[in-house]
Chains A and B, each alone.
Chain A
Amino acid sequence: MASPMRVNDMKRVYVNEKWCLGCRLCEYNCAFASSGIRYMAKALKGKAIFPKIHVEGDDGITFAVSCRHCTDPICVKSCIAGAIYKEDGVVKINREKCVGCLTCVLVCPYGALAPGSDGVMQKCELCTQSGGEPACVKGCPNRAIVYEER
């Protein structure tokens, strides 16, 4: 029998809500990183942004939420299009297959999924396409968002 994959041995994005300023720079950095456009102003200025991380909270506390890359992800089990899958511990979505039924929104306990500008679902894939630290982590001015193993 194949040895079970040690999915926990991977870095994930974590947020220290005590340090989060609620500045939403992570949202802009995420949307920019996903845009594939070279210049930030060209990618974002005057446009509604559709980041894969978002800031929630109130006057008292703020925190950024993105995919937890669960050990046993309910979105993968629930996707009616077979579009969400797990690869090397990272929960990914095949946007070609997604039909926008929003079942993943209905089941994610963290509220981590939202559609992109085209109505097709998108989700944090830890900037695996670009490599290195996720853009939200790199751009966080107070190091409230970290990328580490826990």
Chain B
Amino acid sequence: MAEYIIVGNGTAAAGCIEGIRSVDAAGGITVVSEEKNPVYCRPLISYLLGGKTDENRMNYRPADFYEKNGCRVLYGRRAEKIDPEERTLQLDDGSVLKYDALCDAAGSSPFVPPFEGLETVEKRFGFMTLDDAKALKKAVKKGSRVLIVGAGLIGLKCAEGLRAVTENITVCDLADRVLSSILDAECASLMQKRLEENGISFMLSDSVASFKGNTAVMKSGKTVDFDVLVTAVGVRANTSLVRDASGEVNRGIAVNDRMETSIKGVYAAGDCAEGFDVSSGSRKVLALMPSAYMEGHAAGVNMAGGDERLANEIPMNSIGFFGLYAMTAGSYEGTLYEERPEGGIKRFYVKDGVLAGFMLIGQTERAGIYTSLVRERTPLRDVNFEILKKIATSAAFSSQIRGKKFGGVV
């Protein structure tokens, strides 16, 4: 009977468990979980702050998930070392587990720049885990002044969540715009405006030079007094387990389309691994929940002797603030086509005759039709792109394609 080990207990791990069980109902599965919670929906921690969800509803799988799938979960344990020759994993308590196949789904860790005087800040928090969110929620009261360092997806969702509690929130970022990893300047300004209309203040193109207790001295010379500090500058893939075992690592753990690392019997999935972005033709960390699940599932199937190949991942995000949504997918390469529906922007990037990527603000209905064009690299000559630019509709497809999509089991 095969023995499987999964390092990590997030979405990729859940996908891995389900992938293994779709092939092998009997093998033993051990999950090494540093966090002491069953798998939960990590992106929902911002909704927890604002009371839009609660811990009970944040579970990613039902309470009997591990039991039903015959998994042993080691909570509060950390994986320390892989021995690729012996196929063993050593844990932080010194115990050694044998595996036939191992999936490293260790996720990512927040990166905190070495700010001068950071240790003098009394109430400072990261925003990555359920425990972070619970601690932050406890610390922020009505009227609390909150400074968030980082205007990316994590920092801004944190700001939106906290806005339900306090009116005094400032977000700073070295970048000249919000959501700089997914939006261009004009799209970003629309999102920023919506956030500002809802009481979030920004200090962009500016960052903290040093902290003196509850005061941040900015690079511009301005100072910000605050009660609570949140650092959400960025994350780094947790790659050390594979790197220390001499496996190939770039920004994330290098894997092939079966999610195999360069170490035989060791797979990687989720935020610690590099997926293949079909829209740019390159391997990169796709730190997205859908990718985490799909990579984990593929790894699991292959660990158990099946064959699942993942060749059409793309970066994509749907993110909303106070009712205004931005949806993005793919790569912003090639010729730009633009539409300006009321209250929004739609930007399409066409390269080599296919839709390489898009940015939508406001008008996001049926955006998945665009996403599938990116993912499947559908030749635009086969669709009516003039219609599609205006409105996402399957009416832009030929009746033959529509027949395939809607006429049978898909």
Assess the A61–B395 pair: CB atoms within 8 A.
Answer: yes
Contact among A77, A81, A108, A111 with B41 in the assembled complex (CB-CB below 8 Å):
A81
Assess the B294–A77 pair: CB atoms within 8 A.
Answer: yes
Find the A residue at minimum CB distance from B406. A15
Does any Cβ of A come within 8 Å of B369's Cβ? Answer: yes
Does any Cβ of A come within 8 Å of B189's Cβ? Answer: no
Does any Cβ of B come within 8 Å of A71's Cβ? Answer: yes
Q: How far is the CB of A35 from chain B (nearest CB, A)?
A: 22
Assess the B409–A150 pair: CB atoms within 8 A.
Answer: yes
Residues of A within 8 A of B53 (CB): 81, 97, 99
B-contact 0/1 string along A56-77, CB 8 Å cutoff: 1110010101001011001001
Assess the B368–A56 pair: CB atoms within 8 A.
Answer: no
Residues of B within 8 A of A97 (CB): 53, 57
Q: How far is the CB of B214 from chain A (nearest CB, A)?
A: 32
Assess the B410–A70 pair: CB atoms within 8 A.
Answer: yes
B-contact 0/1 string along A79-120, CB 8 Å cutoff: 011100000000000001101111111111111011000010
Contact among B47, B293, B319, B368 with A109 in the assembled complex (CB-CB below 8 Å):
B368
What's the Cα separation between A54 and B332 when bound, in Å? 31
Find the B residue at minimum CB distance from A60. B395
Residues of A within 8 A of B47 (CB): 99
Assess the B44–A80 pair: CB atoms within 8 A.
Answer: yes
Does any Cβ of A come within 8 Å of B113's Cβ? Answer: no
Assess the B290–A82 pair: CB atoms within 8 A.
Answer: no
Assess the B52–A99 pair: CB atoms within 8 A.
Answer: yes
Assess the B406–A63 pair: CB atoms within 8 A.
Answer: yes
Contact among A1, A77, A96, A105 with B367 in the assembled complex (CB-CB below 8 Å):
A105
Residues of B within 8 A of A96 (CB): 57
Assess the B399–A17 pair: CB atoms within 8 A.
Answer: yes
Find the A residue at minimum CB distance from B297. A77
What's the Cα separation between A78 and B296 when bound, in Å? 12
Residues of B within 8 A of A123 (CB): none
Assess the A2–B25 pair: CB atoms within 8 A.
Answer: yes
What's the Cα separation between A103 and B58 when bound, in Å? 16
Residues of A within 8 A of B290 (CB): 74, 77-78, 103, 107
How extensive is the interface on chain B, given as a class?
Answer: 35 or more
Residues of A within 8 A of B58 (CB): 81
Assess the B395–A58 pair: CB atoms within 8 A.
Answer: yes
Find the A residue at minimum CB distance from B323. A119
Q: How far is the CB of B18 from chain A (nearest CB, A)?
A: 10
B27-81 at interface with A (beta carbon < 8 Å)? 41, 43-44, 47, 52-53, 57-61
A-contact 0/1 string along B319-348, CB 8 Å cutoff: 110010101010000000000000000000
Residues of A within 8 A of B323 (CB): 119
Does any Cβ of A come within 8 Å of B262's Cβ? Answer: no
Does any Cβ of A come within 8 Å of B393's Cβ? Answer: yes
Find the A residue at minimum CB distance from B392. A111
What's the Cα separation between A62 and B138 when bound, in Å? 53
B-contact 0/1 string along A36-72, CB 8 Å cutoff: 0000000000000000000011100101010010110
Does any Cβ of B come within 8 Å of A32's Cβ? Answer: no
B-contact 0/1 string along A10-51, CB 8 Å cutoff: 001011010000000000000000000000000000000000
Given contacts A78-B290, A103-B290, A105-B367, contact A14 B407 (CB under 8 A): yes
Does any Cβ of A come within 8 Å of B170's Cβ? Answer: no
What's the Cα separation between A2 and B24 when bound, in Å? 9
Contact among A12, A101, A114, A150 with B43 in the assembled complex (CB-CB below 8 Å):
A101
Contact among A17, A82, A150 with B408 in the assembled complex (CB-CB below 8 Å):
A150
Assess the A111–B293 pair: CB atoms within 8 A.
Answer: no
Given contacts A1-B25, A106-B371, A107-B316, contact A99 B365 (CB under 8 A): no
What's the Cα separation between A55 and B133 when bound, in Å? 42
Assess the A107–B368 pair: CB atoms within 8 A.
Answer: yes
Assess the A56–B394 pair: CB atoms within 8 A.
Answer: yes
B188-239 at interface with A (beta carbon < 8 Å)? none
Does any Cβ of A come within 8 Å of B279's Cβ? Answer: no
Q: How far is the CB of B75 from chain A (nearest CB, A)?
A: 19
Assess the A109–B372 pair: CB atoms within 8 A.
Answer: yes
6 tightest Cβ-Cβ pairs between the two chains A and B: A111-B366, A109-B372, A78-B290, A108-B368, A82-B60, A106-B318
Q: Which residues of A line the B interface, CB within 8 A?
A: 1-2, 8, 12, 14-15, 17, 56-58, 61, 63, 65, 68, 70-71, 74, 77-78, 80-82, 96-97, 99-111, 113-114, 119, 150
Q: List 26 A-B contacts (CB under 8 A).
A: A1-B25, A1-B26, A56-B393, A56-B394, A56-B395, A57-B395, A63-B394, A65-B406, A71-B409, A77-B15, A77-B293, A77-B294, A80-B41, A80-B44, A81-B44, A82-B61, A101-B43, A103-B289, A105-B318, A106-B318, A106-B327, A107-B290, A107-B316, A110-B368, A150-B408, A150-B409
